[in-house]
Each structure stands twice: as structure tokens, then as C-alpha cells.
Amino acid sequence: MKIMHLSDLHLGKHVNKFSMIEDQRYILDRIVDVADQEKPDAVIIAGDVYDVPQPPVEAMELLDDFLDNLSKRNLHVFEISGNHDSAARIAFGNKRLVEKMHISPVYAGNVECIRLNDEYGPVDFFMLPFVKPVIVRSIYPYEKIEDYTDAVKAAVSHMKIDSSHRNVLIAHQFVTGAERCDSEELSIGGLDNVDVSVFEPFDYVALGHIHKGQKVFRETVRYSGTPLKYSFSEINHKKSVTVVEFGSGKNPSIRTVPLKPLRDMREIKGSYDDVVNLQKSDDYLHIVLTDENEVPDAISELRKIFPNVMKLDYDNSRTRYMADETDGVENAVKIHPFDLFTRFFRERTNSEMNEDQKKFVRQVVAEIWEKDE
């Protein structure tokens, strides 16, 4: 059985006030081309289908067109909601799509197995939308659920998993150890971390949430990454589709198929005179000028050559001095409440907190953040 793993489409997203809808339409068409080449049995979309809970009409139309193109290829599609999506809005699609479209309902504790069969037997798919501890705790109030690891572990423990089958989990969480980037929605202090051990019952874990394609500890726990670059922290990422192929055993082969965007996202650095003499480009650019004096109306002039300049900065003696001056202030502002309490505890008691005390403080801080959201 062959599976294409996607995630984090973020349809409707704007990057530095530039709409990405045209780029997203282009890359979805390229993904359909990959499906035509690979001829998978199933396509997974592991959350953050949209960029916001109430997406614009053009984003919803774009998703409809994409799903319609996949349905015409007579393959199964598995789609879950992520932290950016409205779970209820994503689940609504269940009522209007064809039989082979599988869309996760709002999490209520009952993650059903969807079983596909090939010549070697059953492959069981489990769809777990993005969950928070407060959600799982409300469903299982008598279980000990203090953090995100506990929440996902509880959700998995209530799935009816047949270990003799090949089992696939689709989830949208941050697994401890994954490499993050600036375009993701970060939880302060890593409170959303999930330990990879909770995924032990599954032969492949198709993850969403992290924008860089990567494995996490084992080859079969993977983020596919975004199909497009959504921040300049991603300029060195190689965007792709992950292709997973099961044979008779429980160890699938895994490879990636590169995706080439309509416009790349790049950084250019040099003097104004050097930059304006470069070849014209429609790519999304972060231009860093090294001139000691600011160039009047530089960004307007540069956009005559590079219409998609998203960001303009200077790197010179003045900006380096300012960066040194502000580093201390910014670092102080970014201290997480857990770390502040740790310092307070150490100063007051002249000792360090033990593991039980640390866990309790993390739980209290996490509960405060959930109430604020």
C-alpha cells in the first residue's frame, strides 16, 4: 500500500502581507501531478489545512478544488484538523464528500479505525485531530492527564489497535525533539511537547504541525513539512511530498518527492549598487543592504526590479551596535514563567526543585495558558 503524506497547507495564508493563494493553487496542482506519477492508494493531510479558523472563501474554494481533483483519481483521502483549523469546520466536510474522503470529526474520545486492504491484508488508519490536555481531560475526567503527553497517551489508549495489522496514526502535535521554525505557532516554554513514546503502537505516524520535513527519533515518526516556505527561517528547507509504501511487513519504505514552487523564498545580501544589478526575479525576497548610509526610498526602487520584496533590512555598524544594545532587554522579556519561578524557588530556598515539584509547576502554568486561549 502506497501513501502520500502532506500537512500544513495553511490555505489562505498571508506572509508579510503578501497573499500566498496563487502560490498555493500552483503547488496543489503540482501535488496532484505527483499523485498521478506515484498512483498512491491514499493521501494524508495531517492538519492545518487552513491558516485561520474562519478561512476566506477563496481558501475554501481552493481546498474544494484540490479534494475534487484527488477524488477523481479514485484514491482515499484522510484529513484531520490542526491547531490553526476549526475542528468543527473541518468536520463539516464529512457530510458532503464522497465515500473515500475521510475527515476527522471533532475529538470526542472515539477515534475509529478506518481499514483499507491490499494484497497483504489490512492497513488500519487512525485520525487524531489536534488535542489539548483540557479537551481530553473533560472526556476522561478520572484519568491522570497533566500535560500534552498524557493527553495524547490517553487518546491512543482508547483506540482499538490490532497489533497484528499494519497501523497508521495521523496526528497534529509537537513531538519533543522536532526542529521548529519561525512560521509555526509556538507554545511558550515548550508546554505543548509530546513524548515520542506514546506512538509506539503505530507502524507509521503521519504528523503535522512542524514546517520542516523530518523524522523524529525513528524513521517512521515523521513530519512531511509544509509544501511551501512560509517564513525566511525556511529558506534552506527542501519542500517535498513524503511517500510511504508498505509491503507485507510492518516496516514501510519512505522517500520524498521534491516540490518546486511558483516563486521561491530567498535572502539577498549586498550593497544597494550590487543588488540592483542582479537579475530580475519574482521570488519572495528578504534583502539585506550593507551600505553604511540608508538609501532613500530603497524598497520602492528595489520593487521595480524585484516586485516581491517582502522585507528590507540593513547590516552595518549602526544596526550591529543597536542589536548588541537590545539583546539583553529582549532576552529578559522572553523568560518563561516556569523559568522565572525556578529562579525564585532557588533564591528563596537555596535549592533546586525536585521532579515532582517541576511537574506540578508546569501543570499549573499550562492550565493558566489554556484558560487564556
Distance CA 169, CA 156 (A): 9
Question: Identity (one letter) of the amino acid at 372?
Answer: D
Total length of the chain? 373
| pLDDT-derived band at 320, boundaries 50, 70, 90 | confident
Question: Average of pLDDT values for 172-177?
Answer: 86
The Cα 170–Cα 46 span in angstroms is 6
pLDDT tens across 125-170, in order? 999 999 999 999 999 999 999 889 999 999 999 999 999 999 999 9
CA dist 173 and 179 (Å) reads 13
The residue behind cell 513530519 is 223
**How wide is the angle at C-alpha 173 spanned by C-alphas 220 and 68, nearest 5°?**
80
Half-sphere exposure of 217 (CA within 13 A, CB side): 13
- If one compares 191 and 171, the residue with the highest pLDDT of the two is 171
User: Phi and psi of 192, rounded to 5°?
Assistant: -90, 10
Instruction: Name the band, by pLDDT with cuts 50, 70 and 90, for residue 346.
Output: low
Q: pLDDT tens for residues 214-240?
A: 989 899 999 999 999 999 999 999 999
Listed residue (365, 362, 367) closest to 135, CA to CA: 367
pTM: 0.82
The average confidence (pLDDT) of the chain is: 86
248-304 per-position pLDDT tens digit:
999 999 999 999 999 999 999 999 999 999 999 999 999 999 988 888 889 899 999
Nearest to 67 by CA among 20, 100, 105: 100
Given a cut of 60, whether residue 95 has pLDDT beyond it is no
Model confidence at 86, in pLDDT bands (50, 70, 90)?
low
What pLDDT score was predicted for residue 349? Answer: 67
pLDDT at 22: 97
For position 138, what pLDDT does the model report?
Answer: 93
More confident position, 209 or 351: 209
The percent of residues in the chain predicted with pLDDT above 70, rounded, is 85
CB atoms within 10 A of CB 347: 8
Q: What are phi and psi of 308, to 5 degrees?
A: -110, 40
pLDDT at 189: 44
Q: Residue with C-alpha cell 549602526?
A: 318
Higher per-residue pLDDT: 275 or 322: 275
Q: Lowest-confidence range among 153-157, 207-211, 346-350?
A: 346-350
What average pLDDT does this structure show over 67-84? Answer: 89
At 272, list the grid cell: 544597494
CA pair distance 97, 94, nearest whole angstrom = 6
Q: Which residues contact 93 (CB under 8 A, 6 or more apart)?
A: 67, 79, 101, 103
Which residue shows C-alpha cell 553604511? 292
